[in-house]
Amino acid sequence: MFQSGNAGAFEELFKRYKGPIFTFLIRRCGNRDTASELTQEVFTRVIHRGGTFAHQSRFSTWIYTIARNAAVDHARSSRHRQHASLDQTGDDQQALSERIPGNLPLPDRGTEAASLRDALATAIDRLPEDQREVFILREYHGMPFQEIAQVVDAKVGTVKSRMRYALESLRRELEPWEDIARSPQ
Amino acid sequence: MNVTCEQFRDRILELAYGELDSSTATGLRDHADRCSACRDELHRIERTRQLAAMLPEEVIPTHFDADILQLAARTAETAAAKTNRTAAEPGIAGRLLPFILQPRIAALSLAAAVLVGLVWTVNHRSPREAMFGPGGAPFEGAVIREVETPSRNEAPDITASPVQKAGADLRDADPTLPMLPRGRRFSPPRSDRPQPSESIPVPSPVTTDAAGATNPVDDLIYDAEPSVSAKKALMPPPSTARAKSTASGGGSTLPLASAADASPAPTMEMAEQESPQTPLGEAISLYRAGNCRDAVPLFQSIVTGGPIAERPASLHYMARCDRRSGRCGQALLLYEQLLRDYRAYPDRSEALHEAASCHRRLGHDDRARELLMELSDDPDWSARARAEMAEIAP
């Protein structure tokens, strides 16, 4: 519908995907401002390229592919900037753990849960980019491996292999908190 | 279903994430019940997943919602207007075709063409006459050498038309004359045609476009009304030296970034000379009157489906509209697109400077420095760019 210039249909899509796309980008890029700018860029591209969506894949696959490409382009240009000034810590180096608001309501075992969240965020930040994006798409966006393969332009086997490595790294990093996972919530 | 450990490990992720059909999942779970190693592996994944679920939700920003929805609405309006216009008005071919297909008109046209051909043949002067004047004698005082004409025994050059041969002969006499490509139609001198507006310079009599080719379609529409594209073809090319220096960032010419660069893009100054009747001219008039609200949809329609040569200038104006309204973030999307997709855009330096100032306003000092660095390669902007780079804290 939005392809035929229906602004109302676009608004629906925007409402549905703005949050997930922003969340994907912030977890992938690690910076709120960058994720915000990239989210705008993604939807601008959707507006301009709506006519190129060929219904060969799901819309979600298409829009996540756009988001992922925008993030890759941005990472490439930031890497260039980081090379220019290695001792500077710009916004782009802000870790996921630093972004986690401290005033969120905590579960019963508050301190422990807070430190787990920090450890989890740090562990995700430390994952290699290709493993991180696969893990985020599968774990937090519920995307099947087949679709992830389309988004990241890799074979399903490769995607599953990246996911396996990501889970293994996270398990090692989060070992001290395994009791929380074992105990009833 | 008998599942081996290897098969289990192949499907363990799909099992953990619920991607399998129930019978396959049951088969795998039965295997896990019997095999402690596979069961432990599955439990490890499930525990890691439970811990991963502790990551808090992100707070979603809303500050850009209005901008995006406004852009979508503008694009939708433009697309609808374009569809209506296309449906209501047939193109030139659509308007002419029914007229041409009338039998009487067709017969009369054919007769007229035959008559003109006959008259032309009778009055036609040979190439030699064209060069030396009536009777074939050289003009008095002309310093040109005798040109050999092919003898009857020599194989004739069937690929060259009489006019091309005449052109070749004339070029022998005067090498500064432009080449007339073989296989292309000769175009009568522009002075024989009705002239477009006074402000448009008349190009050389032989070539009709930058490539030296005569475009039959241009010839057809020339007598009717000069179109925007025809005007563009008549406009002087942008300063190539400047385009080269800004596009290459160092003096050497880069290959064109896209097909859009293949045709010369008008500078903003040239675009402002557009007739207010064209969409670009109308949009620029609105922009100059401070009415970006109505100008932007017109620029947008050019960017999405207008003449390729007009797209960079339109993008530039859209970016300026956003910048004027204080929406630097939105403007930068357009500036970056302009700088990325139209590397040979003649007003690149202006765009670089405006984009750099927006980046500085948003605190993107590194990107601002990059753009100013490129800008400093333009001799006209070098001093200013360096001064502004010095202002950015290291």
Report residue A180's pLDDT band, with 50, 70 and 90 as the boundaries. low
Options 2.60.120.380, 1.25.40.10, 2.70.70.10, 3.40.1370.10; CATH for B240-391 is 1.25.40.10
∠ CA A177-A179-A180, rounded to 5°: 75
Measured CA to CA, the distance from residue B344 to residue B353 in angstroms comes to 16
What pLDDT is recorded for position B95?
59
The ipTM assigned to this model is: 0.82
Instruction: Summarize the confidence of residues B51-75 as an average pLDDT.
Output: 84
Measured CA to CA, the distance from residue B170 to residue B212 in angstroms comes to 17
Q: What is the largest CA-CA distance in chain B?
A: 112
Report residue B37's pLDDT band, with 50, 70 and 90 as the boundaries. very high
Q: Mean pLDDT score of chain B, rounded to an integer? A: 65
Structure tokens at A34: 């960058």
B83-100 pLDDT, tens digit each: 666 655 555 555 565 555
Report residue A153's pLDDT band, with 50, 70 and 90 as the boundaries. very high
What pLDDT is recorded for position A30?
84
**Based on the number of CB atoms within 10 Å of its own CB, is B173 exposed (0-12), middle (13-18) or buried (19 or more)?**
middle
Q: Mean pLDDT score of chain A, rounded to an integer? A: 80
pLDDT at B306 over 80: no
How far is C-alpha B9 from the chain's CA centre? 53
Supply the angle between the helices A32-49 and B328-341 in degrees, to the nearest 10. 60
Measured CA to CA, the distance from residue B319 to residue B335 in angstroms comes to 6
Residues of A in contact with B67 (CB under 8 A): 40
Report residue B264's pLDDT band, with 50, 70 and 90 as the boundaries. very low
Structure tokens at B4: 């081996």
What pLDDT is recorded for position B4?
94
Q: Are A65 and A74 in contact (CB under 8 A)?
A: no
A138-142, B77-81, B351-355: range with lowest mean pLDDT: B77-81
A60-64, A113-117, A178-182, B353-357: range with lowest mean pLDDT: A178-182
Nearest neighbour of B68 by CB, restricted to A40, A81, A181? A40
**CA distances (Å), B116 to each of B27, B111, B119, B122, B123, in order?**
88, 9, 5, 10, 11
Instruction: Summarize the confidence of residues B250-269 as an average pLDDT.
Output: 40
Q: Is B341 near chain A, with CB under 8 Å? A: no
What pLDDT is recorded for position B183?
34
Measured CA to CA, the distance from residue B64 to residue B61 in angstroms comes to 8
Q: Where are the domains of chain A?
A: 1-91, 95-185
Measured CA to CA, the distance from residue B141 to residue B340 in angstroms comes to 57
Instruction: Determine how many CB atoms are found less than 10 A away from the CB of residue B305.
Output: 12
Nearest neighbour of A22 by CB, restricted to B14, B61, B69? B61
Measured CA to CA, the distance from residue A140 to residue A136 in angstroms comes to 5
Length of chain A: 185
Q: How far apart are the first and last CA of chain B?
A: 67
Options 1.10.10.10, 3.30.428.10, 3.40.50.850, 3.40.50.720; CATH for A95-185 is 1.10.10.10
Note the CATH number of domain A1-91: 1.10.1740.10
What pLDDT is recorded for position B272?
57
pLDDT at A44 over 80: yes
What pLDDT is recorded for position A12?
86
Distance from CA of A169 to the nearest CA of B (A): 10
Residues of A in contact with B57 (CB under 8 A): 23
Instruction: Summarize the confidence of residues B128-154 as an average pLDDT.
Output: 39
pLDDT at B133 over 60: no
Q: Where are the domains of chain B?
A: 5-50, 183-236, 240-391
Instruction: Determine how many CB atoms are found less than 10 A away from the CB of residue A13.
Output: 17
| Higher-scoring residue by pLDDT: B339, B136 | B339
Distance from CA of B347 to the nearest CA of A (A): 23
Distance from CA of B54 to the nearest CA of A (A): 6
Measured CA to CA, the distance from residue A131 to residue A135 in angstroms comes to 6
Q: Are A163 and A145 in contact (CB under 8 A)?
A: yes
B142-187 pLDDT, tens digit each: 333 333 333 333 333 333 333 333 333 333 333 333 333 333 333 3
Structure tokens at B187: 């175009």
Q: Are B5 and B40 in contact (CB under 8 A)?
A: no
Measured CA to CA, the distance from residue B355 to residue B336 in angstroms comes to 8
**Residue of B48, B78, B299, B301 to mutate when probing chain A, most A C-beta within 10 A:** B48
Measured CA to CA, the distance from residue A30 to residue A26 in angstroms comes to 5
Taking phi over 0 as left and psi of -120 to 50 as alpha, with beta for the rest, B59 belongs to: beta
| Residues in CB range of B126: below 8 A, 6 or more apart | B136, B162
What pLDDT is recorded for position B93?
58
Nearest neighbour of A7 by CB, restricted to B45, B51, B73? B73
**Based on the number of CB atoms within 10 Å of its own CB, is B39 exposed (0-12), middle (13-18) or buried (19 or more)?**
middle
Q: Which amino acid is at B288?
A: R
φ/ψ of residue B199, rounded to 5: -75, -15
pLDDT at A56 over 80: no
